[in-house]
Structure 1
């Protein structure tokens, strides 16, 4: 790092004169360093001066046809109007002062007209209802905002492709959330989405199938190893058991045991094998219930792992 002050001259906002910069510390005669607009001694740490006014301005380099606006919130697919609608306040202004009665009555009339003109068509009204349902599902499942954006974008594409006609908005919204989880690599099952939705598991899976086939979603294959942490947490297994189950899941994929089989069943078999090796007390029924598979499936995957891994 350079020991020379990068602000060799400081601006005087009163008369435009410049002041010479200090070169040594006035207390210990140590060298000065300037970082982030703050000049301090490199020996004793005494702050000599700080100057945080950037006279350069913003970064330029815009192309003529490039969008240069910087105001307003970013656009989002999570709202039907992408976040460009107007919101009218109630009883206070921007400074927190109480509005007079005449202005409150005028705002009430404007708010009514704004609410009536909020939806330009029935399709836009349905889209607003679907965006609200998607936001509710994502919040109930405690998923990140990227899932909400992806699910809302998928639903918009499905509406433009005329896939919503004749189908329930709630089920298609739940299917879009499940599709976003599958495409984003989040270990969320269709039954977990159905638990927080008004639609059943079959309706969620059917909606996801429609979206996946008609829109050609880039859905990656679920690997058994991605389901191990969720199963281990649900069965209250130790970190050693979870680590061993991940190793078994990798070996099962390499040996071809996961081909054509339910990833949840393979993950359940790996977890039960790891529990057996560490003398755990978790039963096959508990693991099967957490993985939403049958006990026979867990037992079959366990036997295959014993024979080939």
Structure 2
């Protein structure tokens, strides 16, 4: 018999530890033994189904509401080719229903904000597929866009740019690694406009973004370079070690990840040229060399007497 704790209180003794017994359908106080409830409401359907097709045909509800749909999935859609009894309509009634259907479709877009959302959610759906965005991030991006629309930030500006900025903001907030360059490439707008719109979005909506950790970019860059697992782990250890020496603050996380991987490649004899590492990280060779110099200085300040290769090999392994 499976017992579960309930969050309610006993009306007799006030004890908060209520035991739920789903097999007997009872809720019992663990202290005084009072049966608080013995006939719980069954929230399931009243019908039975033994196949998927039978379940779909008997279900009387649709999918849940979604912010990623312009109408949240709550609009009513009617086919207009059959009557209430399921009989086919005659030609005159069918023409009348066709006219009603057209009027209904027009009424859904009679306001500017509805047309705006229709265009934006279609673009959001397209970009989410191209960027392989999870559904929860897509919902969050739709929420951010709706807030921007409600704050009247989109008037006179590009809808596509705000959609791209909302996706990037949602990814940053959830710490999903999608660089803004990649988001811009999937968008119809250029990188500078998407970046400018993102800054406006963050400022006006007062969204606080977490700082990107360079270690979360290590797996994707290492996969592009086809590096060994020990090299990837060495790069993570280098970044963790440099972080203890205050060597990561204020630097581009992708550049730091690329520099740590390059150092790990040298230490583990899994060599790659700087051009390939920078290309895989989506940064430049100049940035890679600058971040590499910064990491070397952070490590050498801790152990200045050892040569660089020895220091790389002696970086402590993460537990």
Q: Name 1:233's counterpart in structure 2.
A: 223
What RMSD over aligned residues (CA atoms) do the two structures have, in Å?
2.9
Structure 2 SS opposite 1:78: coil
Q: Name 2:207's counterpart in structure 1.
A: 217
Higher normalized helix content (fraction of residues)? 2
Structure 2 SS opposite 1:198: coil
**Mapping of residues 38-49 of structure 1, within 5 Å:** none
The alignment's TM-score, normalised by the length of structure 2, stands at 0.70
Q: Name 1:304's counterpart in structure 2.
A: 294
Q: Is the 8 A contact 2:82 2:89 kept in 1?
A: no
Distance in 1 of aligned mates of 2:272 and 2:77: 54
TM-superposition CA deviations, 1:134-176 (whole Å, max 9, x none): 1211111111111111111111111111111121011111111
Q: Is the 8 A contact 1:88 1:107 kept in 2?
A: no
Q: Is the 8 A contact 2:215 2:239 kept in 1?
A: yes
Q: Is the 8 A contact 1:265 1:293 kept in 2?
A: yes
Task: Point out where structure 1 has 5 or more consecutive residues left out of the alignment.
Answer: 3-34, 38-54, 61-69
TM-superposition CA deviations, 1:266-307 (whole Å, max 9, x none): 111001111111212321111111222221221232233334
Distance in 1 of aligned mates of 2:98 and 2:251: 60
1:208 aligns with 2:192: no
Q: Name 1:135's counterpart in structure 2.
A: 125
The structure with the largest alpha-carbon Rg is 1
Structure 1 SS opposite 2:77: coil
1:58 aligns with 2:42: yes
Task: Point out where structure 2 has 5 or more consecutive residues left out of the alignment.
Answer: 3-21, 25-38, 45-59, 300-319
**Mapping of residues 188-203 of structure 1, within 5 Å:** 188-203=178-193
**Mapping of residues 12-161 of structure 1, within 5 Å:** 57-58=41-42, 72-89=62-79, 99=88, 102=91, 104-161=94-151
Distance in 1 of aligned mates of 2:188 and 2:181: 12
